[in-house]
Amino acid sequence: MGRPHLPLISPLLFAALLLFAASWKAVALPLSTSSRWIVDEEGRRVKLACVNWVAHLEGVVAEGLSKQPLDSISQKVGEMGFNCVRLTWPLFLATNDSLAALTVRQSFRGLGLLESISGFQSNNPSLVDLPLIEAYQAVVKSLGDNNIMVILDNHISKPGWCCSSFDGNGFFGDQYFNPDLWVKGLAKMATLFNGVPNVVGMSLRNELRGARQSKADWYRYMERGAEAVHAANPDVLVVMSGLSYDKDLSFIRDRPVNLSFTGKVVFEIHWYGFSDSRAWVDGNPNQVCGAVVGNIMRMSGFLLDSGWPLFMSEFGVDQRGTNANDNRYFSCFMGLAAELDLDWALWTLVGSYYLREGVVGMNEYYGALNWDWCEARNSSFLQRVSAIQSPFRGPGVSDRRTHKIIFHPLTGLCVVRKNLLDPLTLGPCTDSEAWYYSTTNKGLTIKGTYFCLQAQELGKPARLGIICGDPNSRWDPISDSKMHLSAQTGNGSSVCLDVDIATNTLVTNECKCLSRDKGCDPASQWFKLVDSTRSRPFSGRQGIRVV
């Protein structure tokens, strides 16, 4: 409504992002896989740092286009540091020609969304009278024009909000989930986007679930779906999701997928705070993080070591910061995502929906953009996520030998030092020192120097020293989360590495929440020693160039 264009985020961060954008490394498409890594034509790792953009609800139109011009949304995706979009679609868009032929205007009119029509008309006049399938293609094209890769995600069959175990869309054989029709629809979409270079992958089906699910049918149909996609479009990555809402791929351990092609398969999983109900607030965060991560490694994380890429294609939090369950989960998530250096897709880009679950204009508190799709909903959240947008390691990331960086999941920052004798602080992970962690004497040394991290006194800064090997420089990963780094001060008391938020300095404090305490939050003391081969300073942001 004639509102001036506000800057997306603070001018300073914006300038930093532009700098990043300028140093984006071009990716040579198409993509393929090399053991657990997704790589480009030249064999260099491409880390998928995606955001989910919803186009599978009743209107079957990518959300937000009544609020902002398509190109400005696509541009914002890149400005926020994402290099890719997981763009959802309902099966019936591909299999029901009369649905695909409805225009955006007709689809909205049928739902009584008159305000969306007028917003759409003013923001995207050239799209409002396009058939739904062409409007979908236009979104893919606009993302390509902005150097954003796309994963087409078959999210559901019958357009509408997903997912419940009783919605008839959960598993092969359910009311709206005819396997033959599904294979046909996948082949059709794969064909439609054959030759569209920024479409780098297709997700076969979101969150399989419900009473009908069985492993036998998973292999039977997922292998068929994968073959159909590959036959129609051999360029795309084929993304295979697990059972039980995309949480369970454990069965692959016993029986690998049997496909006629190699180098294209990626597995996907989902992990939210609510995936474990209210466990995060009902339990001790160290214990919950330890238990949940252990479970994820058994259910899907093991695939990385078996040589398969694992795509965390949905995760996210209420970005108002008011959901304690989400907040506790998210520090644990960030630790694991950094440690495994996963490919991922944030839920969601959407600031608000045309119509979701009967509510017109529903605000999406998990959305990266705000209600009017104009600005970032929470720029400090995005800043935190930016820590995992660039790869830490993998083929071609840099030629540096593997070292550790000390990552702080709560802030998305890393331990850095300015000058030798200055206190250590938190700063961008791209400026991180290369640390070496000795499993024998538990020392944390800056590579190529004699300097090691030392605890001094309770409540005082942790510093670099050259007398290493004493208990004050032996750092043990303790607690069930294994994310506390504990050492002893000169007088023998145990302390944990912590951050003094006011001064941003690294200090040692009494270790928090080691026991069964449910009320306390240890996240300021959570650190991850993450393997990295980055050089310093590192600018590894990856984008594509579509000519």
Ligand X SMILES: *[C@@H]1O[C@H](CO)[C@@H](O)[C@H](O)[C@H]1NC(C)=O
Residues of this chain that interact with ligand X (CB under 6 A) are: 92, 96, 98-99, 258, 319-321, 378, 380-381, 457-458, 491-493
In angstroms, give the least distance from the CB of 324 to ligand X: 10
Do 490 and 256 form a contact (C-beta atoms < 8 A)? no
Q: Which two tokens stand for residue 350?
A: 């959407």
Separation between Cα atoms, residue 344 and residue 52, nearest integer Å = 10
Residues near 45 by Cβ (< 8 Å), separated by ≥ 6? 37, 38, 39, 391, 393, 394, 395, 396, 397
> Phi first, then psi: what are they for 437, rounded to 5°?
-110, 120
In angstroms, give the least distance from the CB of 471 to ligand X: 12
Grouping H, G, I as helix, E, B as strand and the rest as coil, residue 221 is: helix
Do 45 and 396 form a contact (C-beta atoms < 8 A)? yes
Q: Which two tokens stand for residue 504?
A: 């941003």
In angstroms, give the least distance from the CB of 71 to ligand X: 26
Closest by Cα among 31, 73, 149 to 543: 149
Separation between Cα atoms, residue 347 and residue 393, nearest integer Å = 24
Strand pairing class (149-156; 359-360): unpaired
In angstroms, give the least distance from the CB of 225 to ligand X: 14
Nearer to ligand X, 98 or 126 (CB): 98
Nearer to ligand X, 88 or 96 (CB): 96
Nearer to ligand X, 65 or 102 (CB): 102
Grouping H, G, I as helix, E, B as strand and the rest as coil, residue 435 is: strand
Nearer to ligand X, 224 or 400 (CB): 224
In angstroms, give the least distance from the CB of 437 to ligand X: 26
Nearer to ligand X, 122 or 493 (CB): 493
Q: Which residue is nearest to ligand X (CB)?
A: 321
In angstroms, give the least distance from the CB of 300 to ligand X: 22
In angstroms, give the least distance from the CB of 390 to ligand X: 22
Nearer to ligand X, 433 or 498 (CB): 498
Do 189 and 152 form a contact (C-beta atoms < 8 A)? yes
Q: Provide the CA 520 distance to its chain's centre, in angstroms.
A: 27
Nearer to ligand X, 220 or 320 (CB): 320
